Amino acid sequence: MGYNVEKSKKGDKKAKSANSVKVSFKRLTALDLEKRRSSAYKYVI
């Protein structure tokens, strides 16, 4: 929960396109979440 977001300057379209990142979200199923919960136990206790 934390990241640097660079503010792009006006007219800096070239720099913006060079930095652009494609995001692709995957929906977690109940089974995926259960696996993550069991591996997260060490952070929670």
Partner 1 sequence: MLSNLPFYYPFKSVFVKKSPHGDLCTLRTFRFTTPKKNIYIVRIEEYKLHTFMLKFHLAKHKNNKYKYNITTNFNETRGILYTCIAIMHSILIDSKLASFGFIGAQTIFTDTDSIHRVKLKRCKEYIKVQNTIKEPMQNNSRFRVYQGIVSYFVREVNFVHLVDENNSAYILLNKAHQLELPNLEDLVSEMFERNFAPLGV
- In this structure, what are the phi and psi dihedrals at residue 36, rounded to the nearest 5 degrees? -65, -35
Q: Using the rule CB under 8 A, which residue among 9, 10, 14, 21 binds partner 1?
A: 21
Using the rule CB under 8 A, is 6 a contact of partner 1? yes
Measured from the CB of residue 9, what is the shortest distance to partner 1 in angstroms?
A: 13
| CA-based nearest residue to 19, from 41, 4, 32, 2 | 4
Which residues of this chain interact with partner 1, rule CB under 8 A? 1-6, 16, 19-28, 30, 32-33, 36-37, 39-41, 43-44
